[in-house]
Homo-oligomer: A and B are copies of this chain.
Amino acid sequence: MAGLGIEDEAFIRGKVPMTKQEIRVLTMVKARISPTDVVFDVGAGTGSMSVEAALLADKGHVYAVERNAEGVSLIEKNREKFGVGNLTVVAGEAPAALKNLPDCDAAIVGGSGGSLSEILDEIAVRLKAGGRVVINCITIQTLAAALDYFRGHESEFSYEAIQVQINRLQTVGDYDMAKAINPIYIVTGEKKKTLFNRKI
């Protein structure tokens, strides 16, 4: 359990926006990460999800893909801080940056830079049958694109999606007041076990 549900404050962050603990944990659960998994984290940002995934896949390996230089540096710092040796930072842009990586058991997409469809095309090839890709969508356009993708590839993927909204109660004197956190959609695609995949 060490490593699941790290507090937000524990991570080194810059001005790069970071996924909140609750969303991070739900993303891990939806991705069904196992101890021996190879995991892609695309658009890794601060690396908070990569670190969490690396602690869960402690006999596996996590590849954190990030195109932004500040992000790359933050991921390295967080890898250091949490002492996760099974986390490799890949500086570059997906899907191109995924080409040289080994195939994966699970994939997380935290950011897609407008290339979600191309990224999913690459993940569709590289993900093992039965594996899951989880997309965190903070915009309606990304959500719509994710749903469109899975609807257009229903022979390869089944999918589910949730919206999560969290309000944190804040203490103000004798009172507890709700402070809203921006909601997020979590879309999960599961690669079907087709005949073709089974043969492999």
Count the A residues whose beta carbon is within 8 Å of the partner chain — how many? 49
B183 engages A178 (CB within 8 Å): yes
Residues of chain B within 8 A of A174, CB atoms compared: 114, 141, 151
- Using an 8 Å CB-CB cutoff, how does the interface string of A29-56 with B read, 1 for contact, 0 for none? 1101111000000000000000000001
From A140, A147, A167, residue with most partner B Cβ within 10 Å? A140
A164 engages B162 (CB within 8 Å): no
A141 to B170, alpha carbons, bound, how many Å? Answer: 12
Chain B: which residue is nearest A144 at the CB level? B144
Is A68 interfacial (CB 8 A cutoff)?
A: no
Is A125 interfacial (CB 8 A cutoff)?
A: no
A5 to B164, alpha carbons, bound, how many Å? Answer: 16
Helix, strand, loop or mixed for chain A's interface? mixed
Is A139 interfacial (CB 8 A cutoff)?
A: yes
A148 to B28, alpha carbons, bound, how many Å? Answer: 32
Is A196 interfacial (CB 8 A cutoff)?
A: no
Chain B: which residue is nearest A165 at the CB level? B165
- Using an 8 Å CB-CB cutoff, how does the interface string of A139-183 with B read, 1 for contact, 0 for none? 111111001000100000000111111111100101111111111
Minimum C-beta distance from A145 to chain B (A): 9
Is A138 interfacial (CB 8 A cutoff)?
A: yes
Residues of chain B within 8 A of A151, CB atoms compared: 174
A-B contact pairs, 18 of them (CB 8 A): A1-B32, A2-B34, A4-B29, A25-B29, A138-B178, A139-B177, A140-B140, A143-B144, A144-B144, A151-B174, A160-B169, A161-B168, A161-B169, A162-B169, A163-B167, A163-B169, A163-B183, A178-B183
